[in-house]
Structure 1
Amino acid sequence: MATPMDDGQAPLPVTQRVQDVIKTYRPSRQFTHIVKGQPVESHVTSLDFDDQGDYLVAASADETMHIFDVKEGKRTKLVPSKKYGIHLARFTHHSREVLYASTKVDDSLRLLELHNESYVRYFTAHTSQVTCITLSPGSDGFLSCGTDDTVCLWDLKSRNPTGKLKLATPYLAAYDPSANVMAIASQSTSSILLYDVRNFDKAPFSTFEMMEWEDRFTPSTKGRAWTRLEFSNDGKSILLSTDYHGHFVVDAFEGKVSVFLTGRSGSTGRAAPVSTTGKPLGQGDACFTQDGRYVIGGTGDHPDILVWDTHQAVEGRHEYLQPISRLPSRGIKSAIVECNPRYNMFASADTKVCMWLPSQETRDGEK
């Protein structure tokens, strides 16, 4: 069930610069969770766009996967995974294939062909819960992390890992835009490890110690869960999201925190990436925009979306960065946020999926 939230504007703006529209985003369409024709309240646990930005996949705690056509603004497919569960649904470089983690029976990863809803391949190596899946931007390789203290390197064409790393709590991972560097975040050691993808079996070429920065910026909530690790598209910054007071933007070369993003009012109520409390899972409520300049994210207890300008931090050399804008959500909570890689739009979710577009009315009013 799609509910028009604005004027139902359909054509996605592709020519405007992000900086020209970033403050004008508004909820456009909201999708109620539907199972067998009936609305159901279930927490969305992950969101992902395909490479072309044409499709969005949402995994839900009720063990279903939902596919949305972004240009048409409608849901096109619902795929159940009741036997194995589903989390961290990710498009491959083919928009008709989705990779996801099992949440019960076993801890394998599954590659699903959407057209006929058949499995192409299973990937078996983890012995406990998978906490992160990230696709290489330059190949069919991907990484997975798990609570079995392992990071597995894979190729989509093979069911067996091409490599393994044994690390302490490697719950999050990310590739840099060149696909030559992989970053792995270890919560228990408060560190981010950088590896050369071609020499992953060697020691990390750099280790960013985060304990000092946690002491400085989050002393009262030190040890709160890290929820997302992401490179900016120019490879110069790393976003390390947390589940409470704010997020760290780290210099990807020096390992120093260039700025701490503030303004949140509390937790999203999600457990990420590891659930030990029975809370629904989540993948983090902050991410870089397509141009890598801005970070958008939820406010925690409040439903609005915050926007931070990281260039402002560089120019003003501020350690704490307040948001430049608060986007009104009309009461729609955003426990998960994901930016479209090609179009000026993003998606958020809690128990419903919401698509956000720049509002023409708002842009005209600001001129």
Structure 2
Amino acid sequence: MSINGVKQPTNKSLISSSSTVQITKDVLTTCHPTKTFNYHQGTSITSLNFDDSGQYLISSGIDKSIQLYDCHKGIHYKDIQSQKYGAHSARFTHEGLNCLYASTLDPTVNEGNEDTIRYLSLSNNQYIRYFKGHKAQVTSIEVNPVHNTFGSSSYDGTVKFWDLKSSSAIGNISVGQNSVIAFDPQGIVVAIGKYPIGNSQTGKIRLYDLKSFDKGPFVEVEIPCLQNQIWNKLEFSNNGKLLLISTDSREHYILDAFSCKLLAIAKLSFRKDLTWMSTKYPYSGCCAFTPCGKFLLIGSPKALIHIFDLSDLKSDQEKPIILTRSNDIVKSNVGIPKIVLFNPKLFTFATADTTVNLWQPKNE
């Protein structure tokens, strides 16, 4: 994939082409929903994830299912039920149509298996391995972009690292609370985010070298933020320059990926709306970088997706830039864009609330 462009779809139902289009604000503002899928039966969707090739997309929801879609053909591909264990934070690995996912059921119903991570072959619905070690429900799973390893965070206050070939954790970091994690594009660094708890208005970002994480973080920065907000995703830009903190509040934060210096605050509202994008169930973030790292898409409860150009952000700037609501938006007629995720290979992005929607730019 080119850093400055992604493949341009040439047909609304078949999203595959060898042509490449530059990602610009003008093209992004022409994006509109071209496919809508309602295979979670109108219930809340909690995570989306594209595979490495960009061909496949998976969603998980509170209906205790994982749904698989073919983005090349623009079709629903498979329904995977997990009624016994629930399903959240479904993530593709680098091994074919295999995915990891967390359980969601109450331990009194689930016989204490709510902390188990499952490794599933989507091709034949067979479990490959179980990863046990957390002592409370797993809230997020992130796959290393380079290696066949992954990280997980849990309500037990730890972040654990795993090798796909072993059922036991290969590393553990005690965080003290639930957290969010992200790997840098080279798979060398892991970022761990602690959002504010109680009356605190300060979160923390820590960067660890994966080869020596037991020695502690090499960067630790406090982030001034809103009280009672929940951080639901960390994301490095593909160019490795920026780090995004996506929250359930009206504010989101863009940091320098090397120093974790706060470069920008996206404020979609100046009203003290405590329920801006807060939902009963967890979800994997309403913000996403474009593959080039130059733009940020942010969903709002107004059924809008705001588009911000990040080109002017500089690591040596004195103060954070305040990004406010602008005219660069696209409107959703298919529900609230509670989850937003850009395809890594194709010029399409996905949104979800109770339905999964694929967006594409209008053909010129």
Which band: TM-score by shorter chain?
0.7 to 0.9
Show the counterpart of 1:289.
Answer: 290
Measure how far apart 1:331 and its partner are: 4.7
Q: 1:330 aligns with which of 304, 328, 333?
A: 333
Show the counterpart of 1:37.
Answer: none
User: Which amino acid is 2:357 matched to?
Assistant: C
Show the counterpart of 1:98.
Answer: 99
Deviations 1:26-50 (A, max 9, x none): 111111226xxxxx22111100000
Measure how far apart 1:131 and its partner are: 1.5
Q: Is the partner of 2:29 in helix, strand or coil?
A: helix
Measure how far apart 1:179 and its partner are: 0.9
Measure how far apart 1:110 and its partner are: 0.3
Question: Is the CA contact 2:250–2:277 (under 8 Å) kept in the aligned structure 1?
Answer: no
Question: Is the CA contact 2:243–2:260 (under 8 Å) kept in the aligned structure 1?
Answer: no
Measure how far apart 1:12 and its partner are: 4.2
Deviations 1:105-133 (A, max 9, x none): 21100000011100000000111111111
Question: Is the CA contact 2:219–2:259 (under 8 Å) kept in the aligned structure 1?
Answer: no
For 2:140 and 2:86, the matched residues in 1 are separated by 15
User: Which amino acid is 2:103 matched to?
Assistant: S
Q: 1:193 aligns with which of 206, 213, 229?
A: 206
Taking structure 1 as the reference length, what is the TM-score of the superposition?
0.86
Measure how far apart 1:314 and its partner are: 4.4
Show the counterpart of 1:129.
Answer: 137
User: Which amino acid is 2:287 matched to?
Assistant: A
Measure how far apart 1:167 and its partner are: 1.4
Report the CA distance shift for 1:192/1:237 in structure 2 as closer, same or farther (over 3 A).
Answer: same
Show the counterpart of 1:109.
Answer: 117
Q: 1:255 aligns with which of 249, 257, 260?
A: 260
Task: Indicate yes or no: 2:179 matched with 1:171.
Answer: yes
Measure how far apart 1:94 and its partner are: 2.2
User: Which amino acid is 2:297 matched to?
Assistant: I
Show the counterpart of 2:85.
Answer: 84
Show the counterpart of 1:305.
Answer: 305
Matches within 5 A, 1:190-229: 190-210=203-223, 213-214=224-225, 221-229=226-234
Measure how far apart 1:318 and its partner are: 6.5
Q: Is the partner of 2:28 in helix, strand or coil?
A: helix
Deviations 1:47-72 (A, max 9, x none): 00000000000001110110000011
Show the counterpart of 1:62.
Answer: 63
Q: Bigger shift: 258-267 or 159-168?
A: 258-267
Question: Is the CA contact 1:53–1:342 (under 8 Å) kept in the aligned structure 2?
Answer: yes
Measure how far apart 1:169 and its partner are: 1.6
Question: Is the CA contact 1:170–1:185 (under 8 Å) kept in the aligned structure 2?
Answer: no
For 2:13 and 2:304, the matched residues in 1 are separated by 21
Report the CA distance shift for 1:171/1:318 in structure 2 as closer, same or farther (over 3 A).
Answer: closer
Question: Is the CA contact 2:341–2:350 (under 8 Å) kept in the aligned structure 1?
Answer: yes
Matches within 5 A, 1:314-353: 314=314, 319-322=321-324, 323=326, 325-353=328-356
Show the counterpart of 1:356.
Answer: 359
Q: Which runs of 5+ in 1 are unaligned?
A: 1-6, 35-39, 215-220, 272-278
Deviations 1:160-180 (A, max 9, x none): 000111112241000111111
Q: Is the partner of 1:100 in helix, strand or coil?
A: strand
Show the counterpart of 1:275.
Answer: none
Deviations 1:334-359 (A, max 9, x none): 11111101111000000100000011
Q: Is the partner of 1:16 in helix, strand or coil?
A: strand
User: Which amino acid is 2:38 matched to?
Assistant: T
Show the counterpart of 1:26.
Answer: 32
Q: Which runs of 5+ in 2 are unaligned?
A: 1-10, 197-201
Measure how far apart 1:254 and its partner are: 2.3
Show the counterpart of 1:10.
Answer: 14
Q: Bigger shift: 81-90 or 167-176?
A: 167-176
For 1:309 and 1:246, the matched residues in 2 are separated by 16
Measure how far apart 1:223 and its partner are: 3.0
Task: Indicate yes or no: 2:121 matched with 1:118.
Answer: no
For 1:132 and 1:232, the matched residues in 2 are separated by 19
Question: Is the CA contact 2:66–2:87 (under 8 Å) kept in the aligned structure 1?
Answer: yes
For 1:318 and 1:281, the matched residues in 2 are separated by 28
Measure how far apart 1:313 and its partner are: 4.1
Structure 1 or 2: larger helix share?
1
Taking structure 2 as the reference length, what is the TM-score of the superposition?
0.87
For 2:303 and 2:276, the matched residues in 1 are separated by 10
Cα RMSD (Å): 2.0
Runs of 4+ aligned structure 1 residues displaced above 6 Å come to 315-318
**How many residue pairs are counted as aligned between the two chains?**
334
